[in-house]
Amino acid sequence: MRKVILAYKNFAASRNISHIGLGVSALNTSKVLRKNDIPAEVWPIVSPADLGARLQGAGATHVVISAPWIPTAGLQRLANQYPDVTFAMNCHSNVGFLQADANGVKLFREAMELETGTFNFRTAGNSKKFCKWVHAAFGAPCTHLPNLYYIDVTRRLTPPLWRGGVLRIGAFGATRPLKNFMSAAGAALHIARDLKANLELWVSAGRTEGGGDTILRAAHAMFEGLNHARLVENGWQSWPKFRQAVAHMHLLMQPSYTESFNMVTADGIAEGVPSVVTDAIDWAPRYWQAPGDDVCELGRVGRILLTEPSAPADGMEALLEHNQTGLNAWMDFLEL
């Protein structure tokens, strides 16, 4: 019997819970694994010593550590202390996003050496493109452990999501340059003008990183003085409350320059809301995708999705297909 532990760094240790992306990702993956009769638990941890202590008597066979943050010496100790446990460090960024995490790059390269020198440690990535690059650039193995998204309700054909009134578009996520939020804001204005609609552009607030403050100020400048459009800052929330905000939207804009999955697009699908994406989110329906640096094309795709009744169902079909291929990859890792 396999038992999987999904461990991620707990940034809210005082309450032993965190609603950051890695925690939400681990929660969804564990639910899908458990639905397929694979016992899985999510552990928010604060250090390798914390993880080691919790493993005592836990009966775990596989431990997947989300993101490269544990020092290599700590990983080595864990692998030595628990020789019957298979450990994996799963990189949750594609290559482009790693430019914001020099220490993560360093730790991942050290982890490749650790995999060579041990029998129960693996490097992994949640993006097949990332794993392909690791092998091509370093000649090293990289196990594919993709995000899995738990589906509670499957969506059917619906009427067009927007039928007049205020148009609500969400451009959610941590405010980082590679999320391309200015293009999302520009495309939203384009859509609103074409439809002669009053616009609310909802953005996440409270987590600006790597120049995110500048991005948010620039977006406010873009909307300043426009009578028909306003920017709504949606404070950082627990995941269930965030899902409620997503469900309130008519359309999502996720034109990231680089991604390894994109949880917000999956949240939208779960709530019946389509997303304008780029080919970085390659599991989404092809007609949802547009060039990330062509704002008018992003707007054109957005107008199509607002009026296409089958868009929610097409998104659900794409996510279910991603889940199935992803589950197969996890089964390979677990040797099932």
pLDDT tens readout for residues 287-298: 999 999 999 999
Q: Is residue 314 part of a domain?
A: yes
Q: Is residue 272 part of a domain?
A: yes
pLDDT tens-digit readout, 20-77: 788 999 999 999 999 999 999 999 999 999 999 999 999 999 999 999 999 999 999 9
Structural domain of residue 233, as residue ranges?
A: 167-319
Place of tokens 């996440």: 204
| pLDDT band with cut points at 50, 70 and 90 for residue 157 | low
Residue 230 in tokens: 């306003």
Whether 71 and 203 map to the same domain: the answer is no
Nearest to 150 by CA among 273, 21, 263: 263
pLDDT tens-digit readout, 69-87: 999 999 999 999 999 999 9
Q: Is the pLDDT of residue 209 over 90?
A: no
Whether 8 and 140 map to the same domain: the answer is yes
For helices 239-247 and 21-35, angle between their N-to-C axes, nearest 10 degrees:
90
Residues in the chain: 336
Max mean pLDDT range (200-214, 227-241, 263-277): 263-277
Total number of domains constituting the chain: 2
Q: Torsions phi, psi of 161, nearest 5?
A: -65, -35
Nearest to 25 by CA among 333, 331, 326, 253: 326
Place of tokens 């996720």: 254
Q: Is residue 305 part of a domain?
A: yes
Q: What pLDDT score was predicted for residue 18?
A: 42
**Edge-to-edge strands of the sheet including 86-91?**
40-45, 4-9, 62-66, 86-91, 121-125, 143-144
Residue 191 in tokens: 């859509």
Residue 217 in tokens: 């100020």
Q: Say how far residue 76 (Cα) sits from the centre of its chain.
A: 28
Whether 140 and 177 map to the same domain: the answer is no
Whether 238 and 280 map to the same domain: the answer is yes
Determine the Cα–Cα distance for residues 90 and 111; give it in Å rounded to an integer.
10
Whether 241 and 314 map to the same domain: the answer is yes
| pLDDT band with cut points at 50, 70 and 90 for residue 15 | very low
Whether 82 and 116 map to the same domain: the answer is yes
Neighbour-count burial for 103-117, b at 16+ CB within 10 Å, e otherwise:
ebbebbbbbbebbee
| pLDDT band with cut points at 50, 70 and 90 for residue 17 | very low
Question: How far, in Å, are 76, 78, 252 from residue 71 at the CA level?
Answer: 9, 11, 37
Nearest to 293 by CA among 256, 328, 259, 324: 256
Q: Is residue 325 part of a domain?
A: no
Q: What pLDDT score was predicted for residue 194?
A: 96
Whether 173 and 119 map to the same domain: the answer is no
Q: Is residue 45 part of a domain?
A: yes
How many other C-beta atoms can be found within 10 angstroms of the C-beta atom of residue 314?
Answer: 21
Determine the Cα–Cα distance for residues 103 and 109; give it in Å rounded to an integer.
10
- The one-character DSSP state at 271 is T
Domain endpoint, select from 120, 148, 176:
148
Cβ-in-10-Å burial (0-12, 13-18, 19+) of 182 comes to middle
Q: Report the chain's mean pLDDT, rounded to a whole number.
A: 93
Whether 133 and 271 map to the same domain: the answer is no
Whether 176 and 128 map to the same domain: the answer is no
Whether 220 and 302 map to the same domain: the answer is yes
Determine the Cα–Cα distance for residues 27 and 70; give it in Å rounded to an integer.
20
327, amino acid identity: L
Q: Is residue 22 part of a domain?
A: yes
Whether 173 and 289 map to the same domain: the answer is yes
CATH number of the CATH domain containing 64: 3.40.50.2000
Q: Is residue 334 part of a domain?
A: no
Mean pLDDT for the stretch of residues 230-253: 92
Whether 110 and 20 map to the same domain: the answer is yes
Q: Is residue 313 part of a domain?
A: yes
